[in-house]
Amino acid sequence: MENSTDIIKKIAVVGPESTGKSTISAQLADYYQTVWVPEYSREYCSKLTGPCSWEDEINMFKGQLALEDELLPKANKLLICDTTFITVKIWSDHVFGKAPEEVLTELPRRHYDLYLLMDIDLPWEDDPLRNFPDLREYFMTIWMKELQALNANYSVISGTYDVRKKNAIDTINQFFNII
């Protein structure tokens, strides 16, 4: 028997820091009249008084999954995810030299139908929760490698904010054959 959430298509909006993930996620949710899953780590990290610890990374992984699971039943055909827990893997690899085992175990299990990889062609916007303005190209390469390793369906979304929104909508419509 098919669960009603089984028909929901999941779109992950991912990429390096300051590439418009939250903006495009909100725009896409509005356009497709559905819900979007905010980036759990933004809320979590805003309450920290120091740098993220190993345990913080695990907490952000669990929090992102819980938030996604909570919002999935509220979605209207598409669930837009402002990033995914793969970010925990990428950050942990960079900061700690390895990723939590829970994250590695969940990676092949948690399916997203389409990833929109936000390009680094937008100007950097300072934010107290952003750390690596000089490593955007590096992280863009890492994101591509991670998505390729998952054999994920992904498309790089480039352009100014208006063009980026149009490119994202066109990509989604084409991928899911939406007219």
Q: Is 43 within 8 Å of 107 (Cβ atoms)?
A: no
Question: Is the full-model pTM beyond 0.75?
Answer: yes
* Strand residues in the chain grouped as ranges (E): 9-14, 36-37, 78-82, 114-118, 154-157
Which amino acid makes up residue 89?
Answer: K
User: Which single residue is written with the structure tokens 């399916």?
Assistant: 111
What is the torsional sign of CA 6, 106, 60, 31? negative
CATH code assigned to 4-175:
3.40.50.300
What is the model's pLDDT at position 159?
A: 94
pLDDT tens string, the chain, 179 residues long: the values are: 344 666 999 999 999 988 889 999 999 999 999 999 998 987 877 787 778 889 988 999 999 999 999 999 999 999 999 999 999 999 899 989 999 999 999 999 999 999 999 999 987 766 655 566 677 899 899 999 999 999 999 999 999 889 999 999 999 999 999 87
What is the model's pLDDT at position 129?
A: 58
Q: Is 136 within 8 Å of 120 (Cβ atoms)?
A: yes
Tokens representing 177?
A: 């054959």
CA atoms within 13 A on the CB side of 40: 22
Helices (H) and strands (E) in the chain, counts: 7, 5
What is the model's pLDDT at position 47?
A: 80
